[in-house]
């Protein structure tokens, strides 16, 4: 997994990038990301996804909520992203997920921006343990 990080413009947020490879075709990974059933199965937490621009999504049993703002099948998904741990004053963060074909399968890169400074868990292993590790196991099966 690769990670990089920058401070946000208002210093109350930060941005970072994480990336890892899943051994499955890009279209399968993309489709699973946007499917309630597929997302639930590949992460192990219940997801409800309206797979259209402007559609709402929730993941991890409602812990994550947001709206899909851009779809570019099977290359890219952009979603607002808010966890139950955000304070009411925190703006939504944004995830920009890209799916790139590589020899081993699909490189999934997540650019997570406008993350509240107090929410470091995503960068410090949250994406790895809640997404990349279960996705790798799911697509290996």
* Span 1-58, pLDDT tens digits: 444 444 444 558 899 999 999 999 999 999 999 999 999 999 999 999 999 999 999 9
Burial code of 36-69, b = ≥16 C-beta within 10 A, e = fewer? bebbbebbebebebebeeeeebbbbeeebbbbbe
pLDDT at 53: 98
How long is the chain? 141
What CATH number has the domain bearing residue 33?
A: 3.30.530.20
pLDDT at 126: 80
For the residues 70-96, what does the mean pLDDT come to? 95
Mean pLDDT of the chain: 90
CA distances from 111 to 16, 79, 95, 99 (A): 6, 11, 6, 12
What is the strand order of the sheet 105-116 is part of? 2-7, 13-22, 105-116, 93-102, 76-83, 64-72, 56-59, 48-49
For the residues 99-105, what does the mean pLDDT come to? 97
Residue % of the chain over a pLDDT of 90: 79
Residues 6+ apart with CB under 8 A from 89: none
pLDDT higher at 99 or 14: 99
Q: Is the pLDDT of residue 129 over 50?
A: yes
Q: Is the pLDDT of residue 121 over 80?
A: no
Domain that holds residue 107: 2-140
4-18, 55-69, 99-113, range with the lowest pLDDT: 4-18
Residues 30/21, Cβ–Cβ less than 8 Å: no
Per the structure, the count of domains in the chain is: 1
For the residues 86-95, what does the mean pLDDT come to? 93
pLDDT at 42: 95
């Amino acid at each position: 997994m690769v990670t990089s990080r920058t401070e946000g413009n208002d210093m109350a947020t930060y941005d970072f990038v994480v990336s890892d490879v899943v051994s499955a075709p890009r279209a399968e990974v993309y489709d699973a990301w946007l499917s309630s059933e597929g997302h639930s199965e590949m992460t192990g937490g219940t997801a409800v996804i309206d797979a259209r621009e402007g559609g709402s999504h929730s993941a991890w049993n409602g812990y994550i909520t947001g709206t899909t703002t851009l779809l570019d099948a099977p290359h890219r998904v952009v979603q607002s992203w808010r966890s139950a741990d955000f304070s009411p004053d925190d703006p939504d963060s944004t995830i920009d997920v890209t799916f790139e074909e590589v020899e081993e399968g699909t490189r999934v890169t997540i650019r997570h921006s406008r993350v509240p400074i107090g929410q470091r868990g995503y960068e410090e292993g949250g994406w790895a343990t809640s997404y990349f590790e279960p996705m790798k196991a799911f697509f290996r099966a």
